[in-house]
């Protein structure tokens, strides 16, 4: 996707996959500015570490407390978070008006969950409930966003009733194909067993957002579409957050349709 975008605007740049173990993350990233890298995207499990390693951070990255985009210039590292912009743009494109006034359930309290909650608060959600397999982590997320939730009810739930929400958003890694493995195999096993949501709980009028990108869609996204629900899947968010990262690295407008085509048919 990014390589197609670089080519479309005439940049002789290359976007490459770099696997980094958590214990090496700090040293690898600090060495990148001197190795010709202009920037980087960061994904699970490094989004919190990416903010910590940076010399400076955008207001969005600081408020979310996690970064998915790094910029290298003059030997310094700047952290940004385009997950927020990616989710906002995806909702605007696929579900105009959402999430204003909606009762929202966010599954996951990691870096993606933090970005999702912040985007929902900015979008005027009526309420946001956070679930995480470790309840304490959900509680920490909610406490950290209290000051941002002036007009939005913000709480946690250990056993949420998915049928009572207008919007269900998956910000966990459930449904993600294992790196280097069979795409039919999912992290966490069956998505409805790993998440507090069952297909039977989905009801007419609900909306499902799944931040996980998986060719063909995750089980959660497929179940939502089978029931005729509005659905924003990880593909939409992937393209829009990638476009936001592209703009930060290059200072140019992103060729969105080129990126969409390349991501769909790499």
CB count, 10 Å around CB of 133?
Answer: 16
Alpha carbon 27 to its chain centroid, in Å, reads 25
Cβ-proximal residues to 78 (8 Å cutoff; 6+ apart), any chain: 54, 55, 56, 57, 58, 70, 71, 72
Q: Cα(first)–Cα(last) distance of the chain, in Å?
A: 7
57-96: buried (b, 16+ CB within 10 Å) or exposed (e) per residue? bbebbebbbbbbbbbbeeeebbbbbbbbbbbbbbbeebbe
Cβ(24)–Cβ(54) below 8 Å:
no
Helix spans in the chain (H):
2-8, 25-31, 47-53, 59-64, 83-94, 111-122, 135-144, 191-194, 219-226, 234-250, 256-264
List the structure tokens of 199. Answer: 């297909």
- Is 47 tagged catalytic? yes
Cβ(45)–Cβ(67) below 8 Å:
no
Cα separation, 60 vs 120, in Å, equals 13
Out of 46, 47, 248, 260, pick the active-site residue. Answer: 47
Q: Which residue has the tokens 């996959």?
A: 17
Q: Annotated catalytic sites, by residue? A: 47
């Amino acid at each position: 996707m990014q390589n197609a975008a670089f080519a479309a605007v005439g940049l002789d740049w290359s976007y490459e996959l770099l696997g980094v173990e958590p214990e090496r993350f700090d040293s690898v990233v600090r060495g990148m500015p001197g190795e010709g890298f202009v920037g980087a995207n960061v994904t699970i499990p490094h989004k919190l570490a990416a903010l910590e390693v940076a010399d400076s951070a955008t207001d969005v990255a600081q408020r979310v407390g996690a970064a998915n985009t790094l910029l290298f210039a003059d030997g310094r590292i700047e952290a940004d978070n385009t997950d927020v912009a990616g989710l906002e743009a995806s909702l605007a494109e696929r579900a105009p008006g959402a999430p204003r006034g909606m009762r929202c359930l966010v599954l996951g309290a990691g870096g993606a969950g933090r970005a999702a909650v912040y985007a929902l608060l900015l979008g005027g959600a009526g309420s946001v409930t956070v679930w995480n397999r470790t309840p304490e982590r959900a509680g920490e997320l909610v406490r950290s966003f209290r000051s941002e939730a002036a007009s939005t009810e913000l709480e946690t739930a250990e056993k949420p009733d998915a049928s009572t929400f207008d919007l269900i958003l998956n910000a966990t890694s459930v449904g993600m194909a294992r790196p280097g493995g069979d795409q039919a195999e999912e992290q966490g096993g069956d998505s409805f067993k790993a998440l507090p949501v069952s297909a039977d709980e989905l009801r007419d009028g609900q909306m499902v957002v799944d931040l996980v990108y998986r060719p063909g869609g995750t089980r959660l996204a497929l179940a939502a579409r089978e029931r005729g629900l509005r659905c924003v899947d990880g593909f939409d968010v992937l393209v829009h957050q990638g476009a936001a990262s592209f703009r930060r690295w290059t200072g140019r407008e992103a060729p969105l349709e080129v990126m969409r085509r390349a991501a769909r048919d790499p």
